[in-house]
Structure 1
Amino acid sequence: MINYTIRCNLSHGDFIMTNQVKTRKKRDTHEKRQVILEGAVKVFIESGYDVSSMDKIAEVAGVSKRTVYNHFQSKENLFQAVVNDFLKQRDQQKPIEYSKTRSLEEQLKEFAEAELYLIDDPIRRGLSKFLTSVFVMDIEFGKKVRGQVKSPHESFINWLNSAQADGKLQFQSVQLAAQIFYGLVEGCLTYNALFSDGASLKFKEPILTELVSTFVSRYGVE
C-alpha cells in the first residue's frame, strides 16, 4: 500500500510534469505558427498573393501542408494573420504617452519614427511594397483586410487629445489632425523609401524636422 504522503508527492509530480508538457506544446505551437508566418511573408513577397500557394508556403516554412492548415484555414486567413502580425509589430513601437515636460516636436518625431519601422528594414520594406500592391490592385479585398484591424492612429489620437487638454495643441477634429500628420509622414518619407528601396531614408532627418515643424505650426498653441 502506498502511503498518503508518497501518493500526494507523486500526484504533485505528475501535475508538474503535465503542466510542463502543456507549456512545451504551447511553445511549440507558437513557434510553428511563427515559422509559417515567416514562410508566408517570403512567398508572398517573391510571388505575390494570387500565385502563392499553401503548398509553397509549407515548403518554404519547412512544415507539412497539414500543419499549415492546422493553424490557418485558408490562404486568405493566413494573409490576414500576416497583416495583423506586421501591424502589431508597428503598434508596439507606438505606446508613446503624452509628456508635459518634453517638447511636442520630440514626441511627434517618435510617432513618425514608429511609422517608419514598417519600411526601415529590407524585409519589412518588401512586405510593405507587397501589401500596398495588393490593396491597390484589389480595393474591396484591401478594405476587407484593413477592416479587421484596429485603427493605426489610435495611440496617436490619444496623444493628440492629451496635448489639447494640456493646452499645447488646438484642433476641431482629432481624426483629421491625425490623418494630416500621417499624410505628411507617408507622403514625404514612406513612399519615397518604398520607391527608392530605402535609399531616401539616409536623408530623413531634415524632412522629419520640417514635417513636425509644419504640423506644430498648424495645430500648436502659442
Structure 2
Amino acid sequence: MQDLLRDLSRVVLAGRSLDEALGDVTDIASRGIPGAESTSITLIRGEKAFTAAYTGEMSLAADELQYDQGYGPCMDAGRGGVVLRIDDMRTEQRWPDYVSRVVGVGVLSSLSVPLPFQGTSIGALNIYSSQPAAFATPESLDAGSQVAGAIAVAVANADAHARLGEHARNMQLAMQSRAVIEQAKGVLMAQRRVDAEQAFEILREASQRYNRKLRDIAVGIVESAQTR
C-alpha cells in the first residue's frame, strides 16, 4: 500500500490534460491493486458514460459492453455511489446479459469503486481480472479506494483549471468589448459633436432599436469609420 500511495502522490497534474493524468493513474492501479490485471476509469456526464482512461484491452472491452446496454457494475457503481464486487462472472445473477458476454472477453471477476466528487459520484474505477475472486481481500478494496481518491483529485484539478481558463477567456472578451465600445464612442463624438455620455446613449438606443448586442453595434460603427 505504501508503494501505491507513493506512486499516486507522484502523478503530475499541473500543466497536463485530464486524459494524461488519468492514464498515469490507471497504470498505477493495474500495478498496485492486488489482483488487478486491467483497469479503467468510467466518467458519467448526464446520461452518458464513457471510458476516460484504461490500461489493458480487457477493461475497455468490459466497459463498452456495459455502455452498449446502458447498465452494469461500473455504471451502477458510478451512478449509485456504491462499491460493487463480482467474484465470479459465471455465477453472478445481478446483470445476466452483461456477465454472460463479459466472460467472452476474459473477465471472471471485477471491482468497481465510485469516484467521489463534490458530495456526489461522477463515475467509477473499474478493476478486472481473468481469475475468480481476485478482489475478495480487504487489501484490494483499500487500494481501490485510494486510487479512486486520487482520480477525484485529478478531476477536481482539471475542473478548476477549466473554470480558470473560462474566466480568463471571459475577461478577455469583456476587455475587447469595452475597447471597441470606447472606439465607437470616440467615432460618434467626432461625427456628431456629442460628449461621451451622449455617445454611449446613442449606442444603447441603437442596440435596443435593432435588438443587437451593444458590442456588435459598436463594431459596425468602428468598421464603417475605418472604410471611409
TM-score in terms of structure 2 length: 0.25
**Who wins on radius of gyration, i.e. which is larger?**
2
Structure with higher helix content: 1
Structure number with the higher strand fraction is: 2
- Using the size of structure 1 for normalisation, the TM-score is 0.26
